[in-house]
């Protein structure tokens, strides 16, 4: 059910979507241990349940961090997501229990949409959500004359960052053509 609810009640970023869903029960669907970090942040927008989905068990320090932010930890696997009749979701757990959430946040692993950077010989760095193209402070990749920006070149995906990075990469590419 992730794909059918993506962008509506399954979301990736509290900074992009948190305000829209604030005040209701929220969930974080774990894709790995980074979900602890995500759940702590999302707690500023509502009551959060971290659905570990059977992927990991937080250590004592992580559990304490979740408790400090009043995040409920749910270790059971998630069996199904279904619309709740309004704008939220029903999270059905493998043991038969159900939980209602206004929105479910998750951090899927990203991949490049195109093989172009790899074909050009660009180097990649492992970001916290998957590979990103390695760039310097002027957005140039490890291949001279090749620039990258936006989601392809940074782990934190945000439209404003992508637009800004793209504009800056364009300026730097132009200056390189003129002065290099």
Question: Which region among 40-44, 108-112, 163-167 has the lowest average model confidence (pLDDT)?
Answer: 108-112
Give span(s): CATH 3.50.50.60, the chain.
Answer: 2-106
pLDDT per residue as tens digits for the range 148-170: 999 999 988 888 999 999 999 99
Q: Does the pLDDT at position 128 exceed 90?
A: no
Instruction: State the average pLDDT over residues 78-83.
Output: 94
pTM (two decimals): 0.84
Q: Do 57 and 33 meet the contact criterion of CB atoms below 8 Å apart?
A: no
Whether residue 131 contacts residue 111, with contact meaning beta carbons closer than 8 Å, is answered with yes
User: Torsions phi, psi of 173, nearest 5?
Assistant: -65, -45
CA separation for the pair 124, 1 (Å, rounded):
31
Share of the chain above pLDDT 70, in %: 100
Please report, for residues 139, 166, 177, 179, the alpha-carbon distance to residue 171 in angstroms, rounded to integers and kept in the order given: 10, 9, 10, 12
pLDDT at 46: 96
> Which residues on neighbouring strands pair with residue 124, listed in sequence order?
133
CB 151 within 8 A of CB 127: no
Angstrom CA distances, 58 to 7, 30, 131, stand at 28, 11, 25
User: What is the pLDDT at residue 87?
Assistant: 84
pLDDT in tens, 9-24: 999 989 989 999 999 9
Mean pLDDT of the chain: 94
User: Rounded distance, CA 38 to CA 142, Å?
Assistant: 31
Q: For domain 2-106, is the CATH number 3.90.79.10?
A: no
Q: What percent of the chain has pLDDT over 90?
A: 83
Structure confidence at residue 67 as a pLDDT band (50, 70, 90):
very high
Secondary structure (DSSP) of 2-61? HHHHBTTTEES-HHHHHHHHTTS-EEEE-SSTHHHHHHHHHTTTS-EEEE-TTS----HH
The mean per-residue pLDDT over the stretch 107-118 comes to 93
Per-residue pLDDT at 142 exceeds 90: yes
Direct distance between the N- and C-terminal alpha carbons of the chain, in angstroms, rounded to an integer: 51
């Amino acid at each position: 059910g992730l794909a059918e609810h993506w962008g509506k009640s399954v979301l990736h970023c509290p900074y992009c979507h948190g305000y829209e869903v604030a005040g209701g029960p929220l969930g974080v669907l774990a894709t790995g241990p980074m979900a602890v970090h995500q759940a702590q942040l999302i707690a500023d927008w509502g009551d959060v349940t971290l659905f570990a989905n059977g992927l990991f068990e937080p250590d004592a320090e992580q559990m304490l961090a979740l408790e400090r932010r009043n995040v409920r930890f749910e270790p059971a696997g998630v069996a199904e997501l279904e619309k709740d009749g309004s704008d939220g979701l029903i999270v059905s757990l493998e043991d038969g229990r159900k939980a209602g959430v206004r929105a479910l946040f998750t951090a899927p692993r990203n991949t490049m949409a195109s093989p172009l950077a790899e074909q050009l010989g660009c180097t990649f760095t492992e970001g916290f959500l998957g590979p990103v193209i390695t760039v310097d402070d002027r957005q140039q990749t490890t291949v001279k004359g090749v620039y990258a920006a936006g989601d392809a070149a940074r782990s934190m995906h945000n439209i404003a960052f992508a637009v800004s990075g793209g504009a800056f990469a364009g300026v730097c590419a132009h200056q390189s053509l003129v002065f290099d």
